[in-house]
Structure 1
Amino acid sequence: MTTRSQARVATDRPHRYAKQLAAHLGRRIETTWDEETGHGRLVFPHGTGTMAATPGALLLTVEGDAQRLADLEDVVARHLVCFGAKDELLVHWQRNPAAAGTTRCQETDTPTDHLQHPGA
């Protein structure tokens, strides 16, 4: 069963962070980012994601198997909040009240381990 999770990340620089996220994750997965439209796509082995730059926020969506959704949220959020640590970015995913979570940057993250085997 496919599930979806969404987040609105408040930032004055949504284009910058989306472009950086697409470029960084693009080393391991298929990504696109269109500066003109302010939209991008992330294609993971077990799901997909979208990014949309809007005035004052970066809108994120991830979709995947219910058992893997938390992994997708984690990958996207951890990288984004580390890039935006100076701006104190927070990613708060919305699925349902019981499943929502907030991610902050952790310096001990191993940035590529979780990309190769989400949910492993």
Structure 2
Amino acid sequence: MLISTAHYATENGSKYLQQLCKHFAHKVAVSFDESEGTAALMSGPATFLADRDGLTIRVTAEDMKGLIQARFAIDVHLVTFAHREGFSGLSWSVEELPDASIPA
């Protein structure tokens, strides 16, 4: 299981969280409020956390291909949503969870 996390420093974290979740809700199951959201992306779940410092995003996938697809979908939509801020992409970190840590 792979997990990738990114943080976007912005005053509009809640706005972007809601825009992302509303957009993804057209295709997958989503739940969200002003500060937290989840989207059941095809590659695995994505979580969004907004606070006064910005937007933190975490995506999970079984393999690198799924992780790249999820990150791309989020990045490409944020480029559109945050264009006034000059957004050009997230800096993602990646970690691999050992099989034993995956809940059944």
TM-score by length of 2: 0.83
Number of residues of Structure 1 aligned to a counterpart in Structure 2: 93
Task: Work out which of the residue numbers 54, 77, 80 in structure 2 matches 1:79.
Answer: 77
**Aligned equivalents of 1:46, 1:15: Cα separation in 2:** 24
Report the residue type matching 1:11 in the other structure.
T
Tell me if the contact between 1:33 and 1:40 (Cα under 8 Å) persists in the aligned partners.
yes
Residue 42 of structure 1 is aligned with which of 39, 42, 47? 39
- What residue is the counterpart of 1:18 in the other structure? 17
1:52 maps to which residue?
A: 49
In the TM superposition, what is the alpha-carbon distance from 1:6 to its structure 2 partner? 0.2
In structure 2, what is the Cα distance between the partners aligned to 1:14 and 1:25? 16
Distance 1:73 1:54 in 2: 20
Identify the match of residue 61 of structure 1 among 48, 58, 61.
Answer: 58
Instruction: Return the alpha-carbon distance in structure 2 between the equivalents of residues 74 and 95 of structure 1.
Output: 14
- Which structure carries more relative contact order (alpha carbon 8 Å, separation 6+)? 2
Residue 17 of structure 1 deviates from its aligned partner by 0.6
- Could you tell me the percent identity over the aligned residues? 24
> Greater helix share, 1 or 2?
2
Work out the CA distance in 2 between the residues paired with 1:91 and 1:46.
18
Separation (CA, whole Å) in 2 of partners of 1:68 and 1:17: 22
Listed as ranges, the gaps of 5+ residues in structure 2 are 96-104
Deviation at 1:56, TM superposition (A): 2.1
- Secondary structure in 2 aligned to 1:92? coil
What do residues 66-111 of structure 1 show as CA deviations (whole Å, max 9, x unaligned)? 2311111111111112110111223111116xxxxxxxxxxxxxxx
Q: Output the aligned Cα RMSD.
A: 1.2
